[in-house]
Structure formats: C-alpha cells, structure tokens
Chain A
Amino acid sequence: MNMRAEIARVAYRGRTASIGFAHGPFVRVDVVPNGKRQIGTPGDEKLAIRAALDLAGRQIALLANAAGGEASQILEFQVALLDDEDFLDPIFAAIHAGTPADEAWSSALEEQIADYNSAPDEYLQARSSDLADLRDRVLRTLRGGANEAPKLPSGAVICADDLPPSRFLEIDWSSGGGLALLRGSPTSHVALLARARGIPMVVQLGAVAERAQTALLDGEHATLELDPGTEQIDVFERRREAHRKSRAAAHAFLRRPAASWDGEKIRLLLNIQRVEDLAHADAQYADGIGLMRTEFLLGEQAGLPDEESQYLAYDAVLRWAGKRPVTIRTFDAGGDKPVLGFTKDGEANPFLGVRGLRLCLARPDIFTVQLRALARAAMHGNLKVMFPMVTTPEELEAARTLFADVVSRLQAEGIPVVLPELGIMVEVPAAALTIERFKASFFSIGSNDLAQYVTACDRTNGALAKLSDPLHPAVLELIGRTAQYGKRAGISVSLCGEMAGDPRCIPALLSCGLRELSVNPSALAQVKQTIDGLSRGGHP
C-alpha cells in the first residue's frame, strides 16, 4: 500500500507522442519571455517590430537550413506568416494608433492562437504551438531578453508547458534526452520531429512539479517519474532493455535494406485488402504492395461501391506507399466469391465460370466505375493495375481499350487522371503456357488458382488436400517458365499466392527464378529470415 502511494506521488501519466526511454537531469524550460521595455513613439515602435520580425525571419531560415527536410517544411509556415501582409497590416495599424509594439504583436498572435485552439480538428489545434513559437521569438527580441538557445545539460529530460518546433531544433539532442510536455499533442510538428529523431516524448502530462533533480521518461508507457528511487530506476532500466531487445530481434531481419539470394535482390511486397492492414508494425519494411484485393469493397455497403468510396480506398494505400509501387487487382468476383447483383447465379461450375476479368468485361457498367476511380488514384503514386483470370491476350487488350476510353473521357471532363501500367495475374494454365503472347507490363503469378487448375483439384475440397500440392512439378514448371520468360523479356514477375509466405515453398520459388514475392504483413519477417537463412546455408 505504501509503495503504491509513493509511486502515485511522483509518477505522471500522459499520452505517447514518441516512443523511447530517457533517464537524465530534469529541466523545466520557461518559454514565456518576461521583462518590461521602454515604449517609444509609434514611429520607433514600428521600427522596433520591423527589426524584430526581420531577425525572427533570419533565425528561422537558419534553423530550417541546418535542420533540412521535414523540419524546414514545418518552419515554412512561420516564414510565410512573417511575409503575410494581411496578417501584419492590422498589427502595424494598432502600433500606428499608439499600441506598444510588443502588445500589438502579442494580442494579434493570441487571437490567432485562440482561433486555432477552438478548431474542431486536432491537427489545427496543434498548429497553435507553431504560432506560440513565433510569438515568443519576436517578443524575446522586442523585450530585449536573451534570444539565444538556453544552455541545457546533455541528455536532459526537458519539461515545458508546450515546446515549439524551433526551440526543439535549438536543443542539442546528440546525447539523447527526452521531452515531457504538460500540454502539447501527438500530432504537433514537434512530435513529428521527435519521432523522426527517435527522441522520446510524452505529452498532456497535466501539472508536473517545478523542481526535481532527475527524471525517468518512458515514452512507451507515457509516464514521467521524478527523483526516482533505486527500485524505480531498476524497473525503468529493465523496461528500457526489454524494449531495446524486442525491437532488435524483430527488426534484425526487417531492417536489412533488402533480402538477397544468389547475389540478387529479392523484393518483398505485401498482400492487403485495405489501408488498415498496413497498420501492422512490419508493413513499413516492405518494398511495396504486390496485391491489393478490391473485392471487400463489393460487400461493404448496400449496393455496389461508388467511384468516390473506391477512390478513397485506393488513394489511402497509394499515399501510404509514397514512391513504392502499389499493384491493385480489379474485382476478382465469382468462383468462391459470389457478389449479389454482380456475379452470375446458377453456374454449374463457378470456378470455371464467368469470374475475374471475364465477369468485369461482361459488366462494363460496374467495371468502368472501378477504372475511373483507379485512373484518378493513379495521379498520387506508383500505381499498377492487374486483371485476374486472364486466359487470352484479347481479354487484356479489351480491358486496356476500356481503360483508355475511361481515361480519355475523364480528361475531357477536365479531371486529372493517368493510365497506369497494366499487367495480368498468371493463374490460368493456358495463359502460363503462352505467356509470351501477352503485352503486359508485369505478371503476377496467382499460385493458389494456378495450382488448383493445373492439378484439377478444387482447393476448397479438403479431401483433395494432398493432391493439390502447389509444389507439384507441373505447377513449378509453369512458375519457372513464367519467371524465365520475364527475365528474358525484362518484364517483372512476382508471385502473390500462399506459397510466397510458406517457408517450405520459398526455396523452390527462388530456384524457379522468382525474385519478387508478395506476402501478408504478418509473414514478412519470417520470409525475410527464411531467405536470409537460405542465402547463408547455400543452395536449397
């Protein structure tokens, strides 16, 4: 009981803004400048604020140059405000009317800050700390305060009400340290900077003691402990070590820039359904998205999905991927995936029926909506579109013609669109055997269906499990042919079936010549580890 009470007295809990651990001297930073100043004539005051604004502009530009990247973009907003006449004019007007420069500046900024704080969205609220940063920087000059970075002990846990990005950049983080904010937000610019630099940061701690010698900041559990006892320090250090070890183990393979085998890079891509699947911690280590299924869109709402909801779903994934490639597969309905109002009822043999691209070409009313959404989304990333269940080159060309029509119609409407690279799934044996006839930009082997069709085994029929082995030499023969043709023709070939994530199958796939595998996010680490083991252990 006593111990609990003691811990409760010195530990504060907030929200995590950046994960990590810091153990060091505790430093409260007072960001509010103080001191009175001599007030001059309105003319003097205008000169004073002009000089303070110029100095602030130069200081921020220097910081932005030194920091570069993300930080310089963040500071751009402040630079833009210093150059905004609509914003500055009322301040100069107030000074002209007799208000002292610091008061005029301060009240204009307060008004903006209050406005941002009352905004409904957290992102806008977080911008108020950028404005407070600018307010204080100019006030420090006007009030003659020390306008220099405060000297802080290295590795300190810095505690402030809120800390603006420019102050964060002025602090020397080279020996570690952490940031504990009484207010602040995980979406603030300073939180972005802290995450980018791996500085632990906890926000919204509420009231924290003014003075303490040392502090423990645990970014994972979002706690701050002041003047800890040896027992607390032990617990903290154990947590820090456990955190470090678990990350190191999980990431030992993921962090490697690329898996390689036989001296060649193996690209590891992801199979996903929706952007939420990318929340998996390992997803970031993938080289791109090898297969985004779109069928889930068909079951999500009453009726078929409209262009806008599809566009948003595709766009979200492209934004996540940035420059990495994203391959989206058009609706693969039919077979074992019936969709009311789309797939045909009463087929005697739906796996050999009107499914995949066959169905889409038969229903241009539905297919065109998807193509419109894809053409629009293609503007925002490295999009590739692939068609499932293709049997002949004529089907690919029919789809291409339809897609090109959609693109030119959208362009005529003035909507920015682009025709993405087009490829096919290789899952029908007839296509695999005549692969060189397809004018595709890429091939993706759908090994689940390919194995089912080659072995004539319904993959949903458990009694046939032994016969429908994807490692059947006939299946591997077709995979090998496709991979070899791709190599000769310079067309990329990947494999996105369950085999790709199965350590038992990976040696055979690599031997076939495949150098791109697409797997579920949860399989990524295992696959990378398997390939690493193979490349060390010699030939499979």
Chain B
Amino acid sequence: MLETSKANGQNFTGSVRLIHAVGMHARPAVRLTKLAKKFNAHILIRASNAAEWTNAKSVAKVMALRAVRDSIIEIQASGEDAEAAVAALVDLVATDFPDSGP
C-alpha cells in the first residue's frame, strides 16, 4: 500500500499503510513532523479516510490523528517541493520510521 500520484497542477498525494506496532505514537509523530518541516510545501495528513485533513508539521495534530496500526495514512502536499515531500513522508511511514542520523 504505497503510492504517490499527481492529483492536479501543484497537488501531490500519497498513501501508505501504518505498520508501526503501537500506531502513530510519540516517536513516529516526532519523526514525521520533523521530516515534514524540512520541506517548504504545505503538507496535510489524514488517517483512514477521516473527513478532516490536518497539518503534518504539527506534532500535536499528528498525535491527535490517533492513527492505529494498519490504518491508511494519506499525505497531500502543495508548493514547490510538494512531490519530494510526499515521497519522503510516504517512505518514512513505509519503512517504519527508521532511526535517523544525529
């Protein structure tokens, strides 16, 4: 479950299954928001077809997704580096939030 596609002009989306054993908890949420902040793009995230999209750069919001293991995480981004942002975030979730460098 990993795909990225070009929705329209500047909008990119991707989806991926959350395989982390305890769901979107503190450590994964911190990793995800840290990575999202490296991009200039406006990045939104939602879990399991929730009605609302939320800011992928806010750790409080990402924790509030309460995404459990095996939920489908969708990423949507717009702006200059949107495509790279979606790819990087989808990869982060797909590879189960590996330990990053210092």
**Smallest CB–CB gap between B72 and chain A, Å?**
13
With A80-B33, A379-B95, A416-B95 known to touch, is A123 a contact of B58 (CB < 8 Å)? Answer: no
Q: Mark A293-334, 1 if CB is under 8 A from B, else 0.
A: 000000000000000000000011001000000000000000
Interface centre among A80, A124, A415 (most CB of B within 10 A): A80
A interface, over-half SS: helix
- Taking CB atoms, residues of chain A closer than 8 Å to B30 are 76-77, 80
A287 within 8 A of B: no
- Taking CB atoms, residues of chain B closer than 8 Å to A414 are 1-3
A315 to B19, CA, bound (A): 10
A73 within 8 A of B: yes
Which of A74, A84, A115, A127 touches B33 (beta carbons < 8 Å)?
A84
A130 within 8 A of B: yes
A73 touching B27 by the CB < 8 A rule?
yes
A81 to B60, CA, bound (A): 7
Contact-residue bracket for chain B: 20 to 34
> Which residues in window 410-454 of A have CB below 8 A to B?
414-416
**Smallest CB–CB gap between B92 and chain A, Å?**
11
> Which residues in window 375-432 of A have CB below 8 A to B?
379-380, 414-416
A80 touching B34 by the CB < 8 A rule?
yes
Interface centre among A84, A115, A127, A316 (most CB of B within 10 A): A84
B50 within 8 A of A: no
15 contacts between A and B (CB under 8 A): A77-B26, A77-B27, A80-B34, A81-B60, A85-B57, A86-B57, A87-B59, A112-B60, A119-B66, A123-B22, A124-B66, A127-B63, A319-B21, A380-B19, A414-B2
A residues sitting closer than 8 Å to B (CB atoms) are 73-74, 76-77, 80-81, 84-87, 112, 115, 119, 123-124, 127, 130, 315-316, 319, 379-380, 414-416
Besides the known contacts A80-B33, A115-B64, 19 further A-B residue pairs in the complex with CB atoms under 8 A apart: A74-B26, A76-B30, A77-B29, A80-B29, A80-B30, A80-B34, A84-B57, A84-B59, A85-B57, A85-B58, A86-B60, A86-B61, A123-B22, A124-B25, A127-B25, A315-B19, A319-B21, A414-B1, A416-B95
